[in-house]
Structure 1
Amino acid sequence: MSEALKGQVIAQALSEGFVSCRVCRPWDVPDVPERLAAFVEAGYHGQMGWMAERMHWRGDPAALWPEARSVIMLAESYAPAADPMAVVGMPDRGAISVYARNRDYHDMVKKRLKRLARWLIAEAGGEVKVFVDTAPVPEKALGQAAGLGWQGKHTNLVSRDWGNWAFLGSVFTTLDLAPDGRERDHCGSCRSCLAACPTDAFPAPYQLDARRCISYLTIEHRGPVDEELRARMGNRIYGCDDCLAACPWNKFAVAASDMRYAARPELNSPYLAELAMLDDAGFRSLFSGSPIKRIGRDRFVRNVLYAIGNSGETALRDVAASLADDPDPAVADAAQWAVRRLRG
């Protein structure tokens, strides 16, 4: 019954648009508590205090919902159709991470998870809970335990079947489904992702110091960024794809099944000068339905000003100067720094 039902679950998941579906037990990640504790103890979590506050749940998925017997792990591709690094070579444009150039993936993946969960209840009963990056669930560790892929040296999940351009989601259930085997590491001696990092955010393979990661700095970090790091951020204004794009396993990347992951033209390589001039209303309008909306205008414009300062484009100096007295201290600081940089 367990194997037959699992086969039906996989078929249903693929029909919903997921590229892969595997099963593990909630307790199949015994190494997570120790790894998470070491991460927090080293201070690598930076300002993400919620990681320390929820370590018990994040370290032990079985504690999140003790009644759960199985975890259905799913991957949904958002692989870009064009070179995601092309915009990095355009100094007057802003580089937005591939996953954030259109609709918010949280909403899209969660809807698919809910449809799959409703189908499962109708077919086999039981209880379910769905999660997609909004609860203390160690998705990447569970993904490896279920056989979706393995956590590469850049700490993201990698698959031999679809590379590393994928969102992860999970369906916890009280049903007893046959688990799949754990995927082994296939990184070998490759260090491409580590070498690609602009800020040297990897103290060692499989370790990430979020305090140096551009994704963290542009999204989670509040206030001014250290000047040594902002100079390395280039024109990356929301997230960073360098380590993901460098992975050789992306030669097997599967095209995104949902066109809403395709980049909106205005977010593919937006002009920094236009983004810097956004007020709160303009920011909210431009990023309606986007994950970027979460960080707010001030943090976003701060990032844009760092990119302007790194651009070498003296024509952008007046744009930065116009924000030197911005009400937000981090924006004003970024504008003043950009002006100094562009004056040489």
Structure 2
Amino acid sequence: MRQLTAQVKELNEQLQQKHRELRDAQAALEQQEEEQRKALQDLETNVALKIGLQQIAQQNRAMVEELATQHTTARDAAPRDDTQRLRSAPMMAPTTIRLCDDVRHALAQNLQALGCTSIDTGGKDSGALANFAAQLCRTLHATRLLAVDTAHVPAVANALAVARRGVPAQHMGIPVDFSDFAALDTFLKGSESPVVVLDNAFDTVNESLLFALNRCHIDDMIVVLPIGSFANLRLVTPEVWQKVFYVPTAGLVEIPASANPTLYRSRAKFAPKHAEPNDVRAQLAALSRTVKLNVSAMVTPATIMTFGLDTDDLRAWVMPHLCLEMYAYQGVEAATALCGHPDNAAIAGRLHTLINRIDHGSAAR
């Protein structure tokens, strides 16, 4: 009898063990199905984005072919000048211009006059805008290619252009399949404004244009590249960001401003500075303790940091760009980990918001 009871008990334990193994297997299967569902969803999203871009390109090519057919006679009658195909327009009407001591102060005052305000200062914008202007001027010593949230492009571009030369910025739409980079180089160097906004480069993922700008020597010109859809940044090759710097505008909003604002032009010319190689190496070493990226991906942020002593503010300025690069090179998990690094505690919320906008295509600003 005792032997039979022991056998029954052993069989019950084996049965319970099988039940546990079955539950574990079901849980593992459900997890695999969820991971597969998420992977398929991500794939469908990326495919949809690329299909949408292909449709835009096809429509653009059809329009170009139609225009070419309509103007065949005129084109054959005169020598072709590709620079004539590029047309730009001022981003604002002429307005009252006064003089200011330097570009940094002129830029800060122009931003405020154009309706740019900080939501973090309780209406006291002078300090926040002065810091933004200082960091942007430091950035221009390292690169002249600026990626800016499209909501802030008019204020940033016009504030910069007027501060430097007393004229508004120019903007121009770039066709999806544009590839005449010699004409673009000639156009940029002949622009009357020191700031040109090139629409569509990011929103249509025109990587050939972005790489051409990386290689182009644009002298004193500043090129602003608007970001309309942050979700499209998922499709941009990481190496683009080695020369194009993402300007962080989190915390800034645009409010209605005067139709004829008083803006400021600097008396002093903006003089570009060159970073000392040893200083850049020191900043690269400092960043490498937190940011695990290829060194070449951090040269521009490290160079910017050599032009200031306010380390915390400079770190807050370059870290969104580095998180964007981390996402581009290593994916969302690595970018999220960098956002949550203890050294980024003060700005972690803004960094996570940026990555979420890229990874999920959030429309929140």
TM-score under structure 2 length normalisation? 0.26
Higher relative contact order (CA 8 A, sep 6+): 1
Q: Normalized per residue, which structure has more helix? A: 2
Whichever of the two has the greater Rg, that structure is 2
TM-score under structure 1 length normalisation? 0.28
